[in-house]
Structure 1
Amino acid sequence: MSIGSKLAWDDTVLPFQLDRSDMRGRVARLDGVLSGVLKQHDYPAPVEALVAEMALLTALIGQTVKLRWKLSLQVQTNGPVRMIATDYFAPTKEGEPARIRAYASFDRDRVTDAQPFSQLGNGYFAILIDQGPGTTPYQGITPVAGTSLSDCAAAYFAQSEQLPTTFALSYGRSMEPGVGEHWRAGGIMLQHMPKASPFAQGGGSGEQGLLLAEDLMHGNDGENWTRVNSHIGTVEEFELIGPTISPDQLLVRLFHEEIPRVYDAQPVRFGCTCSEAKVRQTLSIYSAKDIEKMTTDDGRVTADCQFCGAHYDLDPKTVGFEAEDGTD
């Protein structure tokens, strides 16, 4: 495969459907998105890996939802990594890329050299969907469980949405000829079509009594699910991440017997929505006395974006609900 064709699949999400088994899915490849997310911070290696996995999950899940505005994933725990937050902003116009941003909050002195998922403690995994002004945001929460963030996501869909879901992900630092070391990630998300998912009653067979995909599948659906997952179980890391095997070629390798049908790929980019106007709006609820407490010794009010590292430096007289007219 040529370099040009390789780059065409970087930072994309390819939707597909398996007609024989009544399932839908996504194949994602991230490259520049991860570079944009991770270069903003000096994360320890295990934290970098968790953020990379969360960004990949966000790309896969965000493209699945018929979004008009924003989908967010959050993990909050009592472990060394206190929080991971990601946002997926849907394209504003047909043909435009979606945007992803992500960051983690952690206690550096508590992070160890152990596996990334072990840096999380007890806590919850949440998916939030905000369709914009005039709508009520939706939030679903499940406990942190399993051995990976993808396990948490699969448990969320089984428990909160009653949708059998599975993931195969790969991510890490990559070395390519003529290209410096950089992060790459690739993955598959597979989900049974909603109309075929029965409503399960009672507890499940998973950790903490959570429902698993297998708890929702019976009869022919269960056989299809087992068969398709056996195909996913054969996928290799280089097939997921690339760059020499395109997503459509991967689908043929794995699911040629399932009659895969692909749709238009969705480009994704690293992108943040912070702005000086939004900082000013956030500060607009404070009085001049409150603003004075936020003012630095240099006589400025400053704010930093956790997602993109943008720094805002404002005149305290121009912020708050008692602000003077005009800006800096």
Structure 2
Amino acid sequence: MTENLLSALGLDRPESGDDAVVPFTLDKLDTRGRVVRLGAALDTILSRHDYPLPVARLLGEAVVLSALIGSSLKFEGRFILQTQTDGPVNLIVVDFDAPDGMRGYARFDQDALVKAAESGKTSPADLLGNGHLALTIDQGQHMERYQGIVALQGNSLEEVAHTYFMQSEQIPTQVRMAVAQMSTKGDHRPRWRAGGLLIQHLPASGMGVMADLPGNGDFNDPAMADPDFVEADGWSEAKALLGTVGDLELADPDLSPERLLFRLYHETGVRVFPPQTLEERCTCSVDRIEDMLANSFSDEERQEMAVDGEIEVVCEFCSSAYRFNPHQFQN
């Protein structure tokens, strides 16, 4: 099977493993895409805060979605996914530090989460509730920021992603994601794993502007704008085949992204490209926090922050604690 796979996909390298994104194209179907497989990096993000299982799973989906989108950046910048809602999980923030760094954080209401669990409403859509999802691309201090905002109205992150791409990039897009805890021999605890697959229809001519960066374009779904719109056969086939993939396949540690793509699309032809490795990496530092304290607060405010003569700042992402003497900032 391995030799056949290598030959069919034209691979001149080993199959990729965890914590990687693999771009691919389906030339016969006018479709491109990316597969993300996360292992240790995601487990570190989710295990660090000991989130309740439904919260961890939702944050895991947000990390997968951020990796699927952020890995397409062609420059060193940041892709930021943020939800603000009235649900039990009222805030999620995921930073993708291009080309390969990820960190994530979720804030939740414990009482609301218990009530949701008692009523059996712990799906991602239930936990999010109503609010909005903001997707931001930050190209640096002296460059324009791009942002797309999508309403969250009882939708899953997969559904919201579809709306975002039609609204901001006008590109028909489908996303599948799965997050799970799995045990392997020798593990002292189950470990978090995840997988995601994104496909986009890019015909040679036709709908929309095929931009790499999201803007703030109006919703422009041709299927709604034109009652006689007929979806391209290639795109219909690509979506139908994606719909057959199971959650276990997306997160399976023994099924490489290349094998998954071969399983789904070998009859129509799939071409894969070199993988990009991913890692959990927080961007907090002593210098950044010291600069924030020095420039964002007055001497009086810093004195009020001090407990037993120290200001302690704990990073919400990685839980690292930084301590400062409030007098060190005085001129």
Contact 1:6–1:246 (Cα < 8 Å) also in 2: no
Query: What does residue range 297-308 of structure 1 map to in structure 2 within 5 Å?
Result: 298-308=308-318
Do structure 1's residue 67 and structure 2's residue 113 form an aligned pair? no
When residues 62 and 213 of structure 1 are mapped into structure 2, their CA distance, relative to the original with a 3 A threshold, is farther
Do structure 1's residue 260 and structure 2's residue 270 form an aligned pair? yes
Do structure 1's residue 154 and structure 2's residue 162 form an aligned pair? yes
Query: What does residue range 19-168 of structure 1 map to in structure 2 within 5 Å?
Result: 19-91=27-99, 98-111=100-113, 112-113=116-117, 114=121, 115-145=123-153, 147-168=155-176
Q: Distance in 2 between matches of 1:195 and 1:312?
A: 53
Offset of residue 235 of structure 1: 1.2
Do structure 1's residue 315 and structure 2's residue 321 form an aligned pair? no
Q: Distance in 1 between matches of 2:172 and 2:318?
A: 34
When residues 117 and 213 of structure 1 are mapped into structure 2, their CA distance, relative to the original with a 3 A threshold, is farther
When residues 196 and 38 of structure 1 are mapped into structure 2, their CA distance, relative to the original with a 3 A threshold, is farther
SS in 2 for 1:239: helix
Q: Distance in 2 between matches of 1:264 and 1:238?
A: 24
Contact 1:21–1:224 (Cα < 8 Å) also in 2: yes
Q: Distance in 1 between matches of 2:265 and 2:202?
A: 17
Corresponding residue for residue 192 of structure 2? 183
Offset of residue 117 of structure 1: 2.2
Q: Distance in 1 between matches of 2:55 and 2:321?
A: 23
TM-score, length basis structure 1: 0.85
When residues 214 and 241 of structure 1 are mapped into structure 2, their CA distance, relative to the original with a 3 A threshold, is farther
TM-score, length basis structure 2: 0.85
SS in 2 for 1:64: coil
Q: How many residues are aligned here? A: 304
Offset of residue 212 of structure 1: 6.0
When residues 24 and 287 of structure 1 are mapped into structure 2, their CA distance, relative to the original with a 3 A threshold, is same
Offset of residue 80 of structure 1: 1.5
Q: In percent, how many aligned pairs have the same letter?
A: 38
Q: Distance in 1 between matches of 2:51 and 2:222?
A: 33
Q: Distance in 2 between matches of 1:262 and 1:220?
A: 29
When residues 172 and 267 of structure 1 are mapped into structure 2, their CA distance, relative to the original with a 3 A threshold, is same
Contact 1:50–1:117 (Cα < 8 Å) also in 2: no
1:109 alignment partner AA: D
2:110 alignment partner AA: R
2:304 to 293, 297, 320: 293
Contact 1:99–1:271 (Cα < 8 Å) also in 2: yes
Question: Which of 231-240 and 144-153 deviates more?
Answer: 144-153
Offset of residue 46 of structure 1: 1.4
When residues 41 and 212 of structure 1 are mapped into structure 2, their CA distance, relative to the original with a 3 A threshold, is farther
1:198 alignment partner AA: M
Name structure 1 gaps, 5 residues minimum. 92-97, 201-208, 324-328
